[in-house]
Amino acid sequence: MTEDVERILVDEKELDEITTRLANQITQDYKNSTKPLILIVILKGSLNFASDLMRKIPLPLEIEFMKVSSYGAGTKNSGEIKIHLDLIREELEKYDLLIIEDIVDSGRTLARLTQLLKNRNANSVKTCTLLDKPSRREVEFTPDYCGKEIENEFVIGYGLDYDEKYRNLPYVGILKREIYS
Ligand code: PRP
**C-alpha separations of 45 from 32, 50, 68, 81, 156 in Å:** 30, 9, 11, 17, 10
Query: Is any ligand 1 atom within 6 A of the Cβ of residue 48?
Result: no
CB-based burial label for 111 (10 Å; 0-12, 13-18, 19+):
buried
Hey, which residues are catalytic here?
105
pLDDT at residue 65 above 90? yes
**Each residue of 152-171: pLDDT tens digit?**
999 999 999 999 999 999 99
Give the whole-angstrom CA distance, residue 177 versus residue 106. 21
pTM for the model:
0.95
Is the pLDDT higher at 75 or at 169? 169
Give the whole-angstrom CA distance, residue 103 versus residue 93. 27
Query: Pocket of ligand 1, candidates 77, 109, 129, 136: which has the most ligand atoms within 8 Å of its Cβ, to mutate?
Result: 109
**Each residue of 37-51: pLDDT tens digit?**
999 999 999 999 999
Query: Is any ligand 1 atom within 6 A of the Cβ of residue 108?
Result: yes
**Distance from residue 166's CA to the centre of ligand 1 (Å):** 15
